[in-house]
Amino acid sequence: MPSRAPRERVLLVDSQDESRRALQLLLQGCGMEVRAFASAAAAMAEATLDQIRTLLIARELSDGDAIHLLRQLALRGWKGRAILIGHSHAELDDEARAAGFAHVVKKPVGRLELLGALAR
């Protein structure tokens, strides 16, 4: 029997329960393994960070912001792709990209836009 390819592992951080759950279900439905958290602190405590290929972080978190969280995770040695979710504003998008985010996906998140960002 052929072995199955490992599923992509995504770390999702969004303080808005409905948004986080909808994104988690969407990603799981596309075959991804998702670790979802409501806060930056909870995401920082994730023990399997080295197995996470992609970060999907809402711009505004209940206990911080996405740029700060990405910087903290990078200091812990995480290397991978980060995607920011939020209301687009050109200056903030430039700041996010300068901080290391590969893409900015606008809220409300469209399925095709998100999957396109993940595929790049």
What's the pLDDT tens digit per position in 59-76? 989 999 999 999 999 998
Question: Per the CATH hierarchy, to which homologous superfamily does domain 13-119 belong?
Answer: Response regulator (3.40.50.2300)
Q: Is the pLDDT of residue 5 over 60?
A: no
Name the pTM for this structure: 0.89
> pLDDT tens across 74-105, in order?
998 999 999 999 877 777 788 889 999 999 99
Q: Which phi and psi (to 5°) does residue 94 adopt? A: -65, -40
Backbone angles phi, psi at 115, to 5 degrees: -65, -35
User: Which tokens in the block code for residue 3?
Assistant: 């072995």
pLDDT at 107 over 90: no
Average pLDDT score, the chain: 89
Half-sphere exposure of 1 (CA within 13 A, CB side): 3
Lowest-pLDDT choice from 22-26, 29-33, 86-90, 95-99 = 86-90
DSSP H/E element including 99: helix 90-99
Q: Which two tokens stand for residue 90?
A: 């050109």
Q: What does the alpha-carbon distance between residue 106 and residue 88 come to, in Å, rounded to a whole number? A: 6
